[in-house]
Amino acid sequence: AKQSGKRQVARLDGHGEAAPIVRNALIRRRLPEAFETRAFSLRYQPQMDLASGDCSAVEALLRWTDPVLGAVSPAEFIPIMELSGDIHRIGERVINEVCAQARRWLDSGTPRRIAVNVSPLQLAARTIVPELVEALHRHGVPAYLIQVEITEGAAITDLPRAVGQLQQLRDAGISIALDDYGTGFSSLSLLRSLPLTTVKIDKTFIDNIDSAPSDALLVGGIIDTAHALGLKVTAEGVERESQRRLLRDLGCDTVQGYLISRPVAPKDLS
Ligand code: C2E
Ligand code: MG
Ligand code: MG
Ligand code: MG
């Protein structure tokens, strides 16, 4: 009985060999209370400009610590919220909080641009433009302090609609990054057809860049291509100095990763 009890605990905290369906159902069951008690918060991860060493841009990353489940990763709960429809509710909260934080940083004399992750479903629902524009206005935040991150790939099912929404964001002065580049279709035509300002190369391509010459070649090619299209390049998941040095030599603009900082609370940003 004791052993099975242990297994149960392992399942609940997500580190055991949990049946994904069980874990999924538990997360879904805990969501209403999490919304009610405002159990979600944002952490901010600095992005370092390689030319200046400056870290005046950050990415907002959602956190949820549940009294029953413990810390649940957004990689787990975002897809569940996309299925349940809760993504629209949480997305609106994130946008509001990001604008409020941008305002606080403006007021304290340390303005920071904040990148916010947006689900393709928010684009598809056409809610993102009015929500963002309204939140910027309400908090008195200039649009250039917000960047929207979208993921490429199958999720962008309705390309013309996505392009229309993103163009409206660009017209409002908001910049746009294509997240996780390289993990989906990595299509070059997507780089051309979306109104982007930045490409974020996925961590999986950065992981071995300092030991696998073919990965370095590939990343160098992506950087050159992006630059030829007038886009900035950010490398994700940079954990070692040797990676940063190589990325700088390859002409990468910005790096983000544990080497610079983990995602932290606003008060812990230097
Ligand atoms: P992402 O947008 O690609 O974010 C990068 C993820 O990599 C984050 O995980 C970050 O904490 C992690 N990371 C950053 N640097 C390093 C590193 O050096 N090493 C390692 N091992 N990991 C690093 P996180 O915070 O767990 O978020 C996972 C994903 O969840 C995000 O991937 C994003 O797609 C999604 N997400 C997070 N917050 C939101 C949100 O507010 N809205 C939406 N729609 N999705 C979100
Ligand atoms: Mg992101
Ligand atoms: Mg990413
Ligand atoms: Mg990701």
CB of 179 within 6 A of ligand 1: the answer is yes
Could you state, in chain order, the average pLDDT of each consecutive group of 10 residues for the chain (270 residues)? 44 59 93 96 98 96 96 96 96 98 97 96 92 98 97 72 93 96 81 94 96 96 96 98 98 98 95
Specify the pLDDT at position 201.
Answer: 96
Distance from residue 143's CA to the centre of ligand 1 (Å): 23
Specify the pLDDT at position 145.
Answer: 98
Distance from residue 59's CA to the centre of ligand 2 (Å): 7
Identify the residue whose C-alpha is closest to ligand 1 atom 46.
117
From residue 137, how far is each of 58, 91, 140, 144 by CA, in Å? 21, 17, 5, 13
- Alpha-helical (H) ranges within the chain are 2-13, 20-36, 74-84, 86-107, 120-124, 128-139, 159-171, 188-193, 203-206, 213-228, 241-249
CA-wise closest residue to 12 among 32, 26, 1: 26
Specify the pLDDT at position 233.
Answer: 98
CB of 78 within 6 A of ligand 1: the answer is yes
From residue 201, how far is each of 52, 118, 241 by CA, in Å? 20, 17, 17
* Closest ligand to residue 200's CA: 3
Distance from residue 5's CA to the centre of ligand 4 (Å): 34
Cα dihedral 131→133→138→139 (10° resolution):
110
CB of 185 within 6 A of ligand 1: the answer is no
CA-wise closest residue to 74 among 45, 109, 114, 111: 45
Specify the pLDDT at position 160.
Answer: 87
Gap between the Cα atoms of 226 and 104, Å rounded: 33
Specify the pLDDT at position 15.
Answer: 53
Gap between the Cα atoms of 131 and 108, Å rounded: 25
Distance from residue 179's CA to the centre of ligand 4 (Å): 7
Distance from residue 1's CA to the centre of ligand 1 (Å): 38
Gap between the Cα atoms of 91 and 130, Å rounded: 13
Specify the pLDDT at position 183.
Answer: 84
Which residues, listed in sequence order, are joined to residue 205 by a DSSP beta bridge? none
Gap between the Cα atoms of 149 and 177, Å rounded: 5
CB of 94 within 6 A of ligand 1: the answer is yes
Cα dihedral 59→127→92→196 (10° resolution):
0
CB of 75 within 6 A of ligand 1: the answer is yes
Chain centre to alpha carbon of residue 43: 11
Identify the residue whose C-alpha is closest to ligand 1 atom 13.
237
Cα dihedral 201→202→205→207 (10° resolution):
120
Identify the residue whose C-alpha is closest to ligand 1 atom 4.
61
Using most ligand atoms within 8 A of CB, pick from 117, 238, 255, 258 the residue to mutate for ligand 1.
Answer: 117
Specify the pLDDT at position 2.
Answer: 41
Specify the pLDDT at position 16.
Answer: 53
ipTM associated with this complex: 0.98
Specify the pLDDT at position 238.
Answer: 98
CA 242, 247, 253, 256 dihedral sign is negative
